[in-house]
Structure 1
Amino acid sequence: MKCFIAVTICLYLAACISLCCIFAAGPQDKINNTEANDIIFTVRKYWPDAERAVSMMQGYGTDYLVTDAEGRTVAVSSPGLNTDYVYDYIHKDYSVDILEDGKVLGRIIFINNGEDDFKRKVGVWALAFLAIFLLKDILAVFYLRKHIFDPVKRMNDFAGQIARGNLDIPVDCSASFGAFSESFDIMREELLYARKGEQEADKRRREVIASISHDIKNPVASIQAIAEYQSLTTGSDELRREFETITQKTNQINGMIHNLHTSMLDDLERLEVRPKELGSSAIGEALRQADFRKRIKDFEIPECLVMADQVRFMQVADNIISNSYKYADTQIEVCSWFEDECLCISIKDFGKGVKKEEEIFLTQKYFRGQNAKEKEGSGMGMYIAEYLVKGMGGRLLCRSEENAWFEVRIWLALAA
């Protein structure tokens, strides 16, 4: 901007100085005195044959014309001279009479073009002045558009993006606005960092609550199982009532834990799954820990390394085994084998199962089979299990034979 103002001032000064120089010089006299004297002498010598006299003086720089006593043009120095305005020439330019015995025979009129040249110079200067300043104005428009209007428009678009919550687009820190635009970009970055920090804190909070609720479920379920067993075997009515009260409270606690766990995992995409090399013995241990009712028959998993997240797989095992307790309540059979560079694990119970057409929907959020309507549940267990297994790079599939068995197969990729 400073450069543009300086150039404008320089142009104005140059225009004023050049105009002053033109007016200071003024109109220049175009008549050569030596040539004029020679012309007067020659014309008088050959008068009245003025054309002959003029023809003898070709190449002179001074323009003139010769008239008779009545003012009619009889000869001109240059064919381009306009002979229609002799009266104007007489009154404006220099003229010399051709005399003989005091009688005027004719007149030589010298054309002085100095004033016309002066006017022409002023006209050319004016045109040049207008052209230069028109060019300057055009450049000014382009300059203002590039350095003022476009940055303002970009700032307006940037403000709109910020208002819509899009903090990923940086502002154009152009030189026109300098620290002003940079301060806006710093504000955007601070808002972005604050949002990311809030999201990370919220994710950690959800994961902690989900993890705690998951860890609480197993001991509460164990307390419930012991209380149910003792209420059936004790011979004291008072103790039986106490154990039944414990069972009711554990049911209540289980319901609250389930609701808390479901609400925290409802937005499951926030849970991170970090698969790493894990020994297959950890997979077997996770299944055994989830089976607090000891319904799983003895099983062995071949020694190998798989890609899995140990904590998340414990959640998968807990969901599958809990579903088996709730909907089948039978013995559970676990088998494993190698298939297509994966460790395949089969978890199978022998309850009512589900209808064939319902199998593909079992891993969808909130879906529950027709046979499960009488049981409490949210329809999130198998959805969570599949999501976590996929996060480990594996695959989960549900298979069933109605009124015969229900099977969950899990494929975990072998470590390279």
Structure 2
Amino acid sequence: MKRRFIVIYALFFSLLSFLMCSYILDSGKKTAMPQYTTEINRLLISIEENWNDISAENAVLTDSSEKFDYAVIDNDSRLLCYTKAGISDTVSAATGNFDIIRDIVCNNNVVGKLIVHNNYAEQKRNDDIRNTKMIGCMAGIMLLVSVGYFIFLRRRVVAPFGRLKDFAVRVAAGDLDTPLEMDRGNIFGAFTESFDIMREELKASRKREEAAVNSRKELIAELSHDIRNPVSSIKAMVDYLELVSDNAEQKETLAAINGKTNQIDKLVSNMFHAALEELEQLEVSPEELPSRELQRIIAESDPLKKVKSADIKDCVIYADKLRLEQTVGNIISNSYKYADTDITIRSFFEENFFVLEIADKGGGVPDEELELITEKFCRGSNAAGKDGSGIGLYISKYFIEQMNGELMCYNNGEGFTVSLRLRLV
């Protein structure tokens, strides 16, 4: 419909322009000065026959039946008579206006001049005024049609599109309850019903998603509860073995196993509670913690003994012991998975922070991905083909920030470094 209107609009104004140009060109041919040769000769003879009477006149405005205007002057350039005010009354003026000048001859003597007025300029001005009016009318018609089409577009296209835009904004904001007003009369009428069907489907999909999420959380909660039972049994058996064992090395190993079972028990408990809430609701309870605890945490998190040096400065930090164990464990585990090289750990003080840097030599990640890998479900390009969910660094960053600290990642030239900034007490 829009294309048909534009074609009709173009054809109409093309035809109108053609007719107007043809009319202007044709009217231009008619503006040439008419040739009144016979009439002028007849008038000249009449003036010569009545010269005695005419020469006695002095600037007399004369009524004339001729189709043209004229003036009569004598040899002294004195105006004798004329038929219209404003016409040429001297030879020089007549020459400048391209008037016809004829000699008045009596008894073979030139006694005066007949000046026939050339009205071409007046005709030309009248033609210009007429053409200007025609062009103005055409422009006015085009303006009216354009304004009318603009109003049509605004009512039938722009306004409905605006309503669709507002509807899309509401849907994006999560409002799936307000239906879209149906209007089959506008250009988007065929789409409004489809958009509203989309809203209904999104609403139904959201309900299904919420039900699936709740079901998954309930499953995780049930599994978490079931996992705690065998963990409790393992802990009980380890406690018993510690009591009956006389071997110091064996007791040390059992103590490490006991510590890990305690950690698993706490993690499972957290998972049970977090399954019923958002991930960010995992509780973080920082407290005063001696930095030497990090040596134990690093040792327990490095079963493959890839940490070749761990320089830990002695101080007191503000941290959650359990969450710090998870964070360091996540970082070392990632190094095992993606770098599989020796690990170097160093610490230093910076203003009011204790900084712990864990570095490997695995080549690092592209610089443009450094800010992304700590986002939820984001993994670096070096993670292709390797198991993982992209949640470890995200959780670690969340834990450190809840301790009023900061987690940063950067490339060290040889590999990848994770820097933990923990507040000093």
When normalised by structure 1's length, the TM-score is: 0.40
| More RCO (CA 8 Å, sep 6+) | 1
